[in-house]
Structure 1
Amino acid sequence: MSNRYYHGLAKSMMFTIILVSFTPLLIITLLAGYQYSVAYKAKVIAHLRELVLKHDQNVDSYLKERIAEIQVLADLEGIDNLKNEDRLKALHISLLRHHRGDFVDLGLVNSKGVQVAYAGPFNLRGADYANADWFKNIQERQIYVSDVFLGLRGVPHFIIAVLLESGGEKWVLRTTLDFIAFNKLVEDIRIGETGLAFIINRKGEFQTTPREDLIKEVPYLKELAAGKNEFSGLLRRRASISIKTNPATGHETIFVISPIKNGNWLMIYQQDVSDAFSDLNQARNLATVVLLLGGVAIIAMAYLMSKRMARKVEMSDLEKDMMNEQVIEAGKLASVGELAAGIAHEINNPVAIMVEEAGWIQDLLEEGLYVEDNEREVSRALTQIRSQGTRCKDITHKLLSFAHKIDPTIIRVCLNDLIHEMADLCEQRAKYANVNIETSLADNLPGVAASPSELQQVFLNLINNAIDSMDPKGGELDISTRFEDGVVVVSISDTGCGIPKSNLSRIFDPFFTTKPVGKGTGLGLSIIYGIISKMNGEITVKSALDKGTVFTLKLPAAKDESGRPDLECDG
């Protein structure tokens, strides 16, 4: 077989090993990666939801506690004590002491919006709030928490206002909450590089200090607050989560939105998906590196193993070919042994003639060459001796040619010539068995590409087997050739005893023989089958008991340079 075959075999084995090794590894990696990814994302999102929900509740609790304290203060002190600035200042100091500065100031505002009493760091006694939004809103509610605004003091703040009634007149107790302390409640939610939280009102205005890069999102946040974008369905649910493209950054972003302050404010947490799932991405990258390294190792091992296995197959085939050659050689020697008796008899006849003629020459020489026709008779006897010697030479040449070591070299062989040669070689043995050999060979038969010595073995074995099947009663052995459908067909038929139907399927098996012990090795037909198969040919057999057997060989015709059958062989 050619090196291309073993190279292809190595590639085939390598790809098979890679496929068998990679498939379960890839399936397990994908399944495990998918399960881990789903579980990790669910865990991260659940963590973010719980975090936002916790801070959401903290903000609401913070506001409710401050509102409750102002309400308690109003109920316990009454309007008269609240009008007293000294008492109001004492109350403010008490609030600062117990709440670490959350209450920036306290003020009492009358029904006209004028602040009649004030305790705090600003000079706001007498301030007029009649046109302030918070003052207008408190007239319709008992309690009001404003949005963050600048107001008279010019710094961001928001107030809690409680409506009181005394003597048929309405009063408002108001307090300003520390914006910095409130802002820290939200700023504590910082995860990763991009995770942050902030609060906006229904106008899309920030109620906490915005990070600089959030300014780009203001138009988007205004649409969100107004319920005009894709988050509108989430605004009434606590800690609702969605993953969408942030139009301000163009990145896939996790949004956690929760309404606070009775739905007037929205707490929003956002974080880039790549940042939120950075550990997952690192795990994926690590798994990819491990998979690639494993893949490289698998490919390297597959390459080395396939080369090694292909080399072993090649060595095994070489050993098998050598063994086959030895088997064929042994079969050939056995055939020579079978021919020996016939060859010896065929040589014995011309040798006897030569001995007789030599004795006659000797007698003539004793009489003298010049007596009558002695000189002409001596010349005739010498010619006869030369003729019989040539005959012996031809016989031994054919035998030696056949007995020569098998040569596997492939050349163009003319079957008709080779069949004539093998028929002549077996002719004497056929006479002893009363077998008549007839040949019917087609003219202009194409040559075949084969080893001549191997084809000699094929035809000699088939002819000898046919002769054996007809020995001793005799019969007819017909050998014919023809060319049909691009192949050379050779038929060898005999009128022998035939082959039982039960044995037809086994006749090409090694060491199977129906001959008596010592008469056959059971290798002849097995050798023939191997030689014909190696030529990409086909051998079939038909047989009937007591009627005879026909072996048919189909051999590919040799091609000329144009790809057509080579018709140079002349039958």
Structure 2
Amino acid sequence: MARQKKNSVPISSGKILPYLTGELFNFRLIWLLSFLLTSGFAIIPVCFFAAIDYNLTHRSMGQEAVATTSRLASNTWRSVSFFLNERKNALNYVVKDNSFEVLTTPERLSEILINLNKSFSGFVDIGVIDAKGNQKTYVGPYGLEGKNYSRQPWFKKVMEHGTFISEVFLGYRQVPHLSIAIKHELPDKKFYILRATIEDQLTQILSQVKTIDSGDTFLINKNGVLQTSSRLYGDVLKKTPIRVPSQTDETSIIENPGKTFGKDSIIAYRYIPNTPFILMVVKNKKKFMATWQQSRTDLIKYLSVSITVILLWIWGITTYLVNRLKIIDRRRVKYFHMAEYANKMASIGRLAAGVAHEINNPLAIINEKGGLIKDLFRFKKAYQNDPRLIEIIDTILNSVERCSRITHQLLSFGRHMEIKLQTINLKSVLDEVLIFLTKEAEFRGIQVLINISETIPEFICDRGKLQQILLNIINNAFSAMDPEGCLKITANETSKNMIKMDIEDNGCGISKENLKDIFEPFFSTKTSEGGTGLGLSITYGLVQELGGRIEVESVINDGTKFSIFLPMMVKKKE
């Protein structure tokens, strides 16, 4: 009965095999992308929150600098105001507690000055001035009795307001000082003025104010003239380049005031009530934030160290994972090559079996006809006495027998390409492999010495895989040897459960650098000669599949020895 032909769609193996047997991935690109993406996901949040913390801390420190400067200015102007008001009130008390006649007595006025300095300190002199501006009585070191102050600005102010605290000025004494004057009305509608002066007390008060490094605290008037000495602008009564700020009833702040104070300065100012003074507190923001700058440096250091550690960790993990992926991909390629190789070997086996089967038929006919001719020659007297004809027939029959033996071995080799466990004899497997290499050995003069121990029993193994193992190693040995080389194959039983087989050649040998890589997929020193680097890798995998191990020893220019250890019983994998 004829077989029905199945419909099939041809598949081009040339387009599919590269995907199965080559590297599917660009591992350098995978490593780079994995490293960059992982680093980005790990580092960007760290940098983001570090930047937020940096900005918040910077803003907080800046606000703290402003608040500290503002508090300092508020406390300082209150101290100055309290100092002046305290002395103004003291003079007010003196006026109300003493009559004009008493105050014009030098002894009493001197006693009052002493008592004032005991209680409050800071008073340099004191005097009583009549309505015409003449100083009637004076107690102090400058001898100003009889001086007329009617043309002085402070006299006009006290006449207008009744109580007046003057700016710092030189006056008759040519010494910077300020005066506190109290106008007192008499019953006859006349009046007099009690006036006291203070010289350097304000500078002393401001010098006690603590500012950071290059900071400064000083008083100016509405014309920008210094009323106390300044670290930045010099001595009292010196004109400063400061642009006088607009008047307010509260402490105000100027940030980044420009070239006058410096771009990193913070200015707090306050108009002191009922005085001509403006308190100026200058702080260097950069100096104030030096602690924060150090913290920022530490933060950057810790951040750099953290990022470095993260990057090193990611580099290590990424490298490890990509290397593992590369190894797995190489194994995939190796197994596909092994499958392709096994498929090819099976195809070769089937082809060999088919060829052997086809040759066996004519060989049988030739053998049969040759035997018939020989019998005819023996029965006919005409041919019995011609030994040359009988010799020719015997030669034909011997050649047929040899061809038959070869075809039977091909059939045996082909049948054993199928993967299955069976009881095998090591020597017969070796003979089946060597039959394909005998002619090459004879042609090149290679001597093959076989020493298989008679004590090795038959054992359970995969015949086809063992044939491939032996064929690969012996082929490699032939390739490594020069003509007239020698190949030694020995086998013995090392224990009750293991067989050791040594295949030793006297070829070119393998260097120590290459010895550790010979079982790696695609490693070959003969790529220019068409080597794929898969033969020994496949052999190594096949030995492992049979539950054994393979070892190699080699010396350059001396030869190589492969030792194969196989178990007596191979466990069938599920």
| Shared fold, TM over 0.5 | yes
Residues of 2 paired with 1:122 and 1:275: CA distance? Answer: 44
Written as runs of structure 1 = structure 2, the 5 A alignment for 1:141-152 is 141-152=161-172
Alignment counterpart, residue 71 of structure 2, candidates 47, 50, 54: 50
Task: Report the counterpart of residue 27 of structure 1 in structure 2.
Answer: 48
Could you tell me whether the CA contact under 8 Å between 1:236 and 1:263 is conserved in 2? Answer: no
Q: What is residue 274 of structure 1 aligned with on the other side?
A: 286
Shift of 1:93: 0.8
Letter of the 1:174 counterpart: R
- Per-residue displacement from partner, 1:70-117 (whole Å, max 9, x unpaired)? 112112212111111111111111101111x21111101122222110
Structure 1 residues 10-19 or 160-169, which shifts more?
A: 10-19
Contact 2:127/2:137 (<8 A) preserved: yes
The structure-2 alpha-carbon separation of the partners of 1:149 and 1:350, relative to structure 1 and needing over 3 Å to count, comes to farther
Counterpart in the other structure of 2:153: 133
How many pairs align? 398
In structure 2, how many angstroms separate the alpha carbons of the residues matched to 1:340 and 1:202?
119
Deviations 1:269-316 (A, max 9, x none): 111221121111111111011111222222233333333333333333
Q: Secondary structure, in 3 states, of the residue corresponding to 2:256?
A: strand
Alignment of 1:489-568 (within 5 A): none
The answer to whether the 8 Å contact 2:257/2:267 transfers is no
Separation (CA, whole Å) in 1 of partners of 2:64 and 2:362: 107
- Tell me, what secondary structure is at the counterpart of 1:310? helix
- Once the two structures are superposed, the pairs formed by residues 6-155 of structure 1 within 5 Å of their partners are 6-99=27-120, 101-155=121-175
SS of alignment partner, residue 220 of structure 1: coil
Alignment of 1:337-486 (within 5 A): 342-359=354-371, 362=374, 366=378
The answer for the alignment partner of 1:204 in structure 2 is 224
Q: Distance in 2 between matches of 1:296 and 1:3?
A: 32
Alignment gaps of 5+ in structure 1:
226-230, 408-448, 455-571
Shift of the alpha carbon at 1:341? 6.4
1:242 aligns with 2:282: no
Q: Contact conserved, 2:168 with 2:178, CA < 8 A, in 1?
A: yes
TM-score (norm 2): 0.60
Residue aligning to 1:523: none
For residue 324 of structure 2, the aligned residue among 297, 312, 318 is 312
Q: Are 1:176 and 2:216 matched, yes or no? A: no
* Counterparts of residues 217-236 of structure 1 (less than 5 Å): 220-221=241-242, 224-225=243-244, 231-232=245-246, 235-236=247-248
Give the distance between the partners of 1:77 and 1:183, measured in 2 at CA: 31
Aligned partners of 1:357, 1:111: CA distance in 2, in Å? Answer: 172
Moved more, 112-121 or 308-317: 308-317
The alpha carbon displacement at 1:324 in A equals 3.1
Between the aligned partners of 2:223 and 2:171, the Cα distance in structure 1 is 18
Provide closer, same or farther for how the CA distance between residues 369 and 176 of structure 1 changes in structure 2, counting only shifts above 3 A. farther
2:168 corresponds to which letter in structure 1?
A: V
Residue aligned with 2:241, SS: helix
Deviation of the 1:337 alpha carbon: 6.6
Partner Cα distance (2:349, 2:403) in 1: 23
* AA in 2 matched with 1:84: T
Paired residue secondary structure (1:91):
helix
Q: List gaps (5 residues or longer) in structure 2.
A: 1-21, 415-435, 438-463, 473-529, 536-574
Return the alpha-carbon distance in structure 1 between the equivalents of residues 207 and 353 of structure 2: 115
Is the CA contact 1:350–1:389 (under 8 Å) kept in the aligned structure 2?
no
Determine if contact 2:134/2:149 at 8 Å carries over to the other structure: yes
SS of the aligned residue for 2:125 comes to strand
Retained in 2: the 8 A contact 1:187–1:196? no
Q: Deviations over 1:242-282 (max 9, x none)?
A: 21143136432111111113473211111122112111111
| Residues in 2 aligned to 1:253 and 1:364: alpha-carbon distance in whole angstroms | 133
Q: Does the residue aligned with 1:324 lie in a helix, a strand or coil?
A: helix
1-structure distance, mates of 2:217, 2:30: 63
Contact 2:226–2:240 under 8 Å retained in 1:
no
CA distances 1:176-225 after superposition (whole Å, capped 9, x unpaired): 02x3322222222232212221111000001111225568x95531xx22
Aligned to 1:413: none
2:504 corresponds in structure 1 to none
**2: distance between equivalents of 1:107 and 1:308?**
95
2:209–2:217 CA contact under 8 A, matched in 1: yes
TM-score normalised by the chain length of structure 1: 0.60
Q: Distance in 2 between matches of 1:198 and 1:70?
A: 26
Local SS of the residue matching 2:267: strand
3-state SS, counterpart of residue 189 of structure 1:
coil
Deviation at 1:142, TM superposition (A): 0.7
Q: d(CA) in 2 for partners of 1:152 and 1:28? A: 67
Backbone CA RMSD of aligned residues: 4.3
Q: Is the 8 A contact 2:166 2:275 kept in 1?
A: no
Aligned to 1:519: none
The answer to whether residue 307 in structure 2 is matched with residue 295 in structure 1 is: yes
Q: Residues 117 and 125 of structure 1 are in contact (CA less than 8 Å); yes or no, is this contact kept in structure 2?
A: yes
Rounded to whole Å, the distance in 2 between the matches of 1:239 and 1:299 is 51
How far apart, CA to CA, are the structure 2 residues paired with 1:253 and 1:31? Answer: 25
Question: What is the identity, as a one-letter code, of the residue corresponding to 1:312?
Answer: R
Corresponding position of 2:525: none
Distance 1:237 1:360, change over 3 A: farther
- 1:439 is aligned to none
How far apart, in 2, do the equivalents of 1:341 and 1:4 lie? 40
Alignment partners' CA distance in 1, 2:347 and 2:272:
108
Q: Distance in 1 between matches of 2:344 and 2:51?
A: 63
Which residue does 1:285 correspond to in 2?
A: 297
User: Hey, what's the Cα distance between the residues in 1 that align with 2:143 and 2:135?
Assistant: 11
Q: Deviations over 1:368-408 (max 9, x none)?
A: 6899xx99xx99x97xx99x979x99x9699889997899x
Whole-angstrom CA distance in 1 between matches of 2:280 and 2:362:
121
Question: Structure 1 residue 30: deviation in Å?
Answer: 1.7
